[in-house]
Amino acid sequence: MTTTGSSAENYVEVYDEPLHRVQWSNDYALVYTVNIPLGALTLWHRHCQDTVYCAIGNVAVAETLPGQTPVTRHSVCGAAVSRAHRAEPLVHQIQNVGDEVVRFVAAEARACPPRVMATPLAAAGHRLDWEGERFRVYQLESDAADVGVEYGFHGLLVALQPLQVAIGDAARSETLADGEWRWLTPPLRCHYTVPARGVVIEWR
């Protein structure tokens, strides 16, 4: 039987859903982007790995689970949520019911990294948003002064607006557009030019 994603019984894997695009992977993470046009509907698809999702812009989606009616969920720009799909694989279908293109940067947690921080990062411009078993999420926001920070963990930096940053030994800073991301491998120093707004996700 050919798998088409036309029903909850005939789902595709998350990587084969056409509105999801795998961008990169290593031993610890797999990063993909989600772009759902106005009114568009994804195929039925399955998630099997613990995943963190970061909203790029304000989004509204209707999520349908097998045998259930759709539930509308709203996320503001920069909101990050995590689901433990490894313990509880998820099959669902998503529709964009908002006024903007739905955009997420999503990342799966694979193997645990060899270097894990015992306590949350305490650095200028970084606010711990939440922490779970596999991730810590920090909101990066600063308007007052340039920010330099040492990251002692493996993780993901996601820009929420044009973000100027010098990463590691880079002689010049680069500008990340909203929705662009970079993987962080410790020990690593980043220097941000304000205004800076993004999300930093720590792997655990």
pLDDT digits (tens, 9 = 90+) for 59-117: 999 999 999 999 999 999 999 999 999 999 999 999 999 999 999 999 999 999 998 99
Classified by CATH at the fold level, domain 126-203 comes out as Jelly Rolls (2.60.120)
Q: What residue segments make up the domains of the chain, in order of their start?
A: 12-109, 126-203
What dotted CATH number matches 12-109?
A: 2.60.120.10
Find, among 11, 30, 23, 6, the residue nearest to 90 by Cα.
Answer: 11
Q: Do domains 12-109 and 126-203 have the same CATH topology?
A: yes
pTM, to two decimals: 0.95
CA distance 23 to 31: 6
Strand, coil or helix: 15: helix
pLDDT along the chain (204 residues), means of 10: 83 97 98 98 98 98 98 98 95 97 98 94 97 97 91 98 94 94 97 96 97
